[in-house]
Amino acid sequence: MSYEISRNIVKNELVDKIEELSGQNVFDCYQCGTCSAGCPVVEYMDIMPNQVMRLAQFGATEDLINSKTIWICSACLQCSTRCPKGIEVAKVMEALRSINLRKRVGTLDPNKIETEDLQDLPPIALVGAFRKLTG
């Protein structure tokens, strides 16, 4: 199935906005899984990075917007540097976070993080969260 046919089937506002904000074509992903295999925080995610790309291809708006994965992504760029198609998956994650933040959804209050979570989460995830979720 060509890009144009696929694009027209699932064309929706979210896919358009993801592509506009990230500059990435979600339909370039062919699901090799390399992004998920190299992700240092994948075990904390509810949807793996390659699944985020697939859900975007299917136009699964609610699943993406409500995903914890987009907030857990540490933006380490491991996925982007390993992608054989050159897709910057981290930019797609950032676009999804931006879409939520523009709706005032998903802000983080550092004082409300449980002590148990602080001990279990990788430091890069916490730094990334403070960098992108406070506001």
pLDDT digit string (tens) for 45-90? Answer: 999 999 999 999 888 878 888 899 998 998 899 999 999 999 999 9
Q: For 23-37, write each residue's pLDDT tens digit.
A: 999 999 999 999 999
* DSSP codes, 21-89: HH---GGG-----HHHHT-TTGGG-SS-HHHHHHHHHHT-HHHHHT-SHHHH-----HHHHH-TT---H
Given a cut of 90, is residue 41 above it in pLDDT? yes
Q: For 93-117, write each residue's pLDDT tens digit.
A: 999 988 887 776 555 666 777 888 7
List the structure tokens of 120. 């279990």
Average pLDDT of the residues in 121-126: 75
Select from 40, 31, 26, 19 the least CA-distant residue to 99.
19
Q: Tell me, which fold does domain 3-133 have in CATH?
A: Fumarate Reductase Iron-sulfur Protein; Chain B, domain 2 (1.10.1060)
